[in-house]
Amino acid sequence: MTVKHTDFRLIVKRGVQCLLLPLAFVAWCVYRLESLVVGKRTALACWSQCLALLPGRCGILVRWAFYYLAARRCSWDVTIEFGTIMSSPDIEIGRHVYIGAYCVLGDVRLGDDVRIASGVSIPSGGRQHWEQIVPQDGLSPLPEVPNQYRQITIGQRTWIGERAVVLADVGASAIVGAGSVVTSPVEDFCVVAGVPARTIRRLSAS
């Protein structure tokens, strides 16, 4: 009975997703037209902020439908909770990924079975903000350095704890502790925590 019930729920979910895709296609078309004027990143951020405010299960499904079309890759079994904002159209989301509430994600590649808790920030690398270089002689500043975007990769089956900030790649089957700030790459099967995050334990590959 449990297997049959699960299969029925999956069929219903797939049916709802298929019904939402034509509606999301209209929003996607408007987004693409807007991106011609203001750029893809700005247009996506605008739509992402609006969609983030939709509550409940309905909001989760609507967000999935839009990102399924707008993101570089978004699998069918993805949960994106309330208040989460995406800022890069190059984001890739694998199968069975869970993204908690109030997260901010930039150019990220999320492997299969990744779990991200609430309030996590994964920007497009650690140098995505403009900088103004002031010479040592105190004279007029040099021209600003343009944003430097890079894709952050989160390996499959990795867990990211609540309110962590991830600025570097994280390997597969790793755990990032709550409140940690990841500034250097994390290897597979490692548990890291702290500011900056350091390896505190290695997990068994088996």
Mapping DSSP onto H, E and C, the string for 89-141 reads CCCEECCCEEECCCCEECCEEECCCCEECCCCEECCCCCCCCECCCCCCCCCC
pLDDT at 129: 62
Taken in order of first residue, the domains within the chain and their CATH numbers are 2-127+145-202 (2.160.10.10)
pLDDT at 3: 53
pLDDT at 131: 56
Q: Give the residue numbers marked as catalytic.
A: 129
Q: Identify residue 16 by its one-letter amino acid code.
A: V
Burial of 86 (0-12, 13-18, 19+ CB in 10 A): buried
For residues 50 and 47, what is the distance between their CA atoms, to the nearest angstrom? 5
DSSP string, 128-175: -S-B----TT--SPPPPBPP----EEE-TT-EE-TT-EE-S-B-TT-E
Q: Identify residue 169 by its one-letter amino acid code.
A: D
pLDDT at 14: 87
Q: Which helix (H) or strand (E) holds 201?
A: strand 198-202
Give the position of tokens 């704890």: 161
Q: Could you tell me if 159 and 178 are in contact, meaning their C-beta atoms sit under 8 angstroms apart?
A: no
**Mean pLDDT of successive 10-residue stretches along the chain, which has 206 residues:** 67 89 94 94 94 94 96 95 95 96 96 97 77 56 64 96 96 96 95 94 83
pLDDT at 59: 94
Angle of helix 2-38 versus helix 56-70 axis, rounded to 10: 60
pLDDT at 2: 55
User: What are 54's two structure tokens?
Assistant: 């939709």
